[in-house]
Structure 1
Amino acid sequence: AKPAIPVSVTPPAPSERTKQQPLPPKPGGGGPTVPPAAGQPAAPLDLLAQLTNTPPPPETPVRTVLRRVKIWTPLVVLLAIVFCVVQAFRPLPEPKLVLTANKAFKFDGDKAQMTWPATGQAYVEVDGLGPLGESGEEKPVPIASVTKVMTAYITLRDHPMKKGDKKGALMTVDSKAVSDYQKGKPEGESLVRVTEGQKLSEYEALEALMLPSANNIAKLLARWDAGSEEAFVKKMNDTAKDLGMVNTTFTDPSGFDATTKSTAKDLVKLGRKAMADPVFKEISGLTEYIDSNGEKQKNFNPIVPLYGTGIKTGTTTAAGGNLLFAAEKKIGGTTQLIIGAVLAQHKTPIIDSVVAATKDAIESAKKALEAKTVVKKGDVVGAVDDGLGGRTPVVATKDVTAVGWAGLTVGLALNDGGHKLPHAAKSGAEVGMLTVGSGPGQVRVPVALKKPLAEPGFGAKLTRLG
């Protein structure tokens, strides 16, 4: 056999594609990993490093969206759960009554006809309903002892008394009250006998002021209330301004001065406020009383025995006959308060002429008043609004009667009657009050649920805003 011929093989030059890359450094150790020598197997850890050293897949829009969904979905779900819990347990809005019936009712017919005095001026209204009319020129004229209504009003405002109290505060009669009695008696003034140092109750002082129209007691009340008559007169004018008595000027607390002037319309404003005080209303409606000296004192107002209410007369030569009056009429289940004033009646005897004119005004006012049914029992007049879009109808529990006169428009309103509305209640439960008109003669009828009132459901709670 021939000897083998040695063949020399030259290995190809390594290219960039096949050049071995250095391995990353081993954990915990210094430099790069040195590749194993030719012919030697790689260490297990080095081999694992090579297998896991794979670059991430390329980024695409789909992968980006998926990754964001995975991140935000749990957070959105958590927020939704929190929102639902908060909405479900938030305090419910307070329910309210809303009127669905007509807000006003107008009486048919022409304007009510009133009987007015031929001279002077007069004005009449029904408290809470409005004016029935007026006559004569509205200009300030002397009002005489009608002034004492303001004196009594301020006294009770500054020293209030509870209904049924027959005494009130005590005052000491001063020497000036005695001197006024002694000087005024010969001149024919209206006065009540008192003694210095006498203890006079507020109630008796007001009786003396309003019934026998005692000028000396009017001045005593002024000094007792304000410290001086001048300070009290300032109170009178300030109060007149507050009441809107724009054509009124007071210069003394009794009205004896002819410079104390007012108008019929202004005096009715005062009379309305004074009659709102139960003590004033009671006293001005008395026919007589026995004073602390044991003397009987009669009311100078002849209207009181006829109609059962006040308020005050005022007569002097300069002022003529004047009367601020109040009368009541029961109609339609209500008691309507008629308030008016007749001034400057100079036909003698002046007290008779002003009383006659007042009686005509009262009778014509009573005749003008009428009652009409505006809502029948069971009619839907409104609803309970739960504040979340739910409404439960309410009905009148009985016929609703409006009181007024031809041509008058009265307003209707729905309120909670002073009680908090429930969130849930049975059908037929009374939840409020339907009112017609205002003032002491206001008509009030309870309203009840036509069907059960239910608390708002979960859906309504969930979707509410604000």
Structure 2
Amino acid sequence: MTQESPAEPATAPKARTLKARTLKARTLKARTPRTRTAVGALLALGLFLVLGTVQAVRPVPAPALRIDAAHASYTFPGDFTVPWPRQGQAAVTVPGSGSVGTHGAPEPVPIASVAKVMTAYVLLTERPLAKDETGPVIEIDARTVAEGKAKHESRIAGLSAGQEFSQQDMLKMLMIPSGNNIARLLARWTTDSDSEAAFVRKMNDAAKKLGMDDTTYTDPSGLDERTVSTAVDQLKLAEAVMAYDAFRAVVALPSATVSGLDDPLINNMGDLLLAGLSVRGIKTGSNTPAGGTLVWAAYKTVGDRTPLILGTMLDQHADGPDTNGAASLTLVKDSSGTVIEAVRDALTSATAVREGQVVGYVDDGLGGRTALVTAADLTVIGVPGQQVEPRITGYGKALPHSAKAGTEVGGLAVGSGPDAVRIPVTLRDDLTAPSLVSKLTRLG
């Protein structure tokens, strides 16, 4: 009888399979770090290429003009002290160079008839009038006639309902003798309203646009003591309103004859207009709450230029009896005359920057700078000790990313308005577009 061999255990194939799998796993495990490193490198390279492409094709920043800190201010040599009044507040500026100085606490105070400067400004903004243009006809209403009989305020008396005057003549009646009833009539006429409320809103809107943050108007005449402002705020308005030819022509008149009025209009600026100080307006004010108030404009020829000088004086109260502010009005005019004469005498010119000086640079926004040089001397007018602040400005269009040396790209300016001084600035070196490296390495 043949004896059979014992059968192989059933678990053997499973053991071989497990062993093979274990070996394969060990092999895979041994290869995984290298594989992952390679894959990671490929991903990093791909990401770098994508980011690099994005950086390279992204729009570059617009070039900008910058001034060097060393030329951001200039102080006139010497010393000068403005003979300020002993009370109240005051301010003087030469728009072509900037502030001469201020005096007193800048607290809002009643301004009396100086408020009519804003009335004229809103009137001419809403209803423009050329220098020699008489403008539309305005009819006198019964309310204006009645207010002309008031004894406690400045007014144009002797008017009749139905009388007609040109806008230019109305402006004269408003600004020269300071007609309160005319201020109210113009407010109603300008807004085509039965009250002055809409016009007063326009006055406050205009003040806000001019940056007169400490000013509040409650009426168009200034009789209301709640109409308040500061000397500095009134200078902002004075500069804006003096841009109107029609306004300058009227406030410079010592007197005026208006057809339909029995008497000539006499300017309350009085002798200041005839004192040989080249004073050309602007407006006085006076009453018991405000004391004496005054905004003035004067000129002085220095070399080949005749810059405008503006000043304000508020809250001037005379000692002793002061019926309706009459004595205070005299005080503010006398004190203003002293300031005007001193500032005019001290006014001088100086060269703030010489031709060919490096005053700033073009910033390409990616770290590149190209120097800017002046193409002429910058000569400014001011008083000794006054500090002016030059600034580099463009021409209202985008700067190029590349340009040749000598290209005019902007100007170095001082002051504001028509008296502002400006000289060209040019590239000292070639302006080149940002490099690929600067594009790739930029942040943000």
The TM-score, its normalising length taken from structure 2, stands at: 0.72
**2:237 is matched with which residue: 273, 277, 297?**
273
Write out per-residue CA displacement over residues 94-119 of structure 1, whole angstroms, 9 at most, x where no aligned residue: 11122224132334444x233456x8
Equivalences for residues 429-440 of structure 1 within 5 A = 429-437=407-415
- Give secondary structure in 1 for the equivalent of 2:65: strand
Conservation of the 8 A alpha-carbon contact between 1:150 and 1:270: no
- Give secondary structure in 1 for the equivalent of 2:313: strand
State the alpha-carbon separation in 1 of the partners of residues 108 and 440 from structure 2.
Answer: 65
**What does residue 312 of structure 1 align with?**
283
- Give secondary structure in 2 for the equivalent of 1:393: strand
Instruction: State yes or no: 1:457 paired with 2:428.
Output: no
| Structure 1, unpaired ranges of 5+ | 1-9, 22-54
**What does residue 20 of structure 2 align with?**
none
**What does residue 396 of structure 2 align with?**
418
State the alpha-carbon separation in 1 of the partners of residues 132 and 43 from structure 2.
Answer: 72
Structure whose alpha-carbon radius of gyration is higher: 1
Conservation of the 8 A alpha-carbon contact between 1:101 and 1:380: no
- 1:458, CA displacement in angstroms? 1.8
**What does residue 298 of structure 2 align with?**
327
- 1:327, CA displacement in angstroms? 1.3
State the alpha-carbon separation in 1 of the partners of residues 30 and 412 from structure 2.
Answer: 66
| Structure 2, unpaired ranges of 5+ | 14-22
Moved more, 68-77 or 371-380: 68-77
- Give secondary structure in 2 for the equivalent of 1:196: coil
- 1:289, CA displacement in angstroms? 5.4
Conservation of the 8 A alpha-carbon contact between 1:284 and 1:310: yes
Equivalences for residues 293-372 of structure 1 within 5 A = 293=260, 297-298=264-265, 300=267, 301-302=269-270, 303-304=272-273, 306=276, 307=278, 309-314=280-285, 323-331=294-302, 335-341=307-313, 343-344=316-317, 355-372=333-350
State the alpha-carbon separation in 2 of the partners of residues 363 and 66 from structure 1.
Answer: 90
CA RMSD of aligned residues (A): 4.8
The TM-score, its normalising length taken from structure 1, stands at: 0.69
Change in CA separation of 1:178 and 1:337 when aligned onto 2, cut-off 3 Å: same
Moved more, 331-340 or 358-367: 331-340
State the alpha-carbon separation in 1 of the partners of residues 442 and 286 from structure 2.
Answer: 68
Moved more, 346-355 or 72-81: 346-355
Change in CA separation of 1:57 and 1:442 when aligned onto 2, cut-off 3 Å: same
Instruction: State yes or no: 1:94 paired with 2:62.
Output: yes
Equivalences for residues 109-188 of structure 1 within 5 A = 109-110=78-79, 112-115=80-83, 123-127=90-94, 129-134=98-103, 143=112, 145-156=113-124, 159-161=126-128, 166=133, 171-181=138-148, 183=149
State the alpha-carbon separation in 1 of the partners of residues 42 and 108 from structure 2.
Answer: 82
Question: Between the two proteins, what is the percent identity of the paired residues?
Answer: 34
- Give secondary structure in 2 for the equivalent of 1:309: strand
More helix as a share of residues: 2
Instruction: State yes or no: 1:217 paired with 2:185.
Output: no
Moved more, 288-297 or 335-344: 288-297
- Give secondary structure in 1 for the equivalent of 2:389: strand
- 1:245, CA displacement in angstroms? 4.7
Conservation of the 8 A alpha-carbon contact between 2:89 and 2:231: no
State the alpha-carbon separation in 1 of the partners of residues 82 and 424 from structure 2.
Answer: 34
Instruction: State yes or no: 1:208 paired with 2:164.
Output: no
Q: Which protein has greater RCO, CA pairs closer than 8 Å, 6+ apart?
A: 2
Tell me how many residue pairs correspond in the alignment: 412
Moved more, 283-292 or 208-217: 283-292
Conservation of the 8 A alpha-carbon contact between 1:412 and 1:435: yes
Write out per-residue CA displacement over residues 36-73 of structure 1, whole angstroms, 9 at most, x where no aligned residue: xxxxxxxxxxxxxxxxxxx9797277744554566566
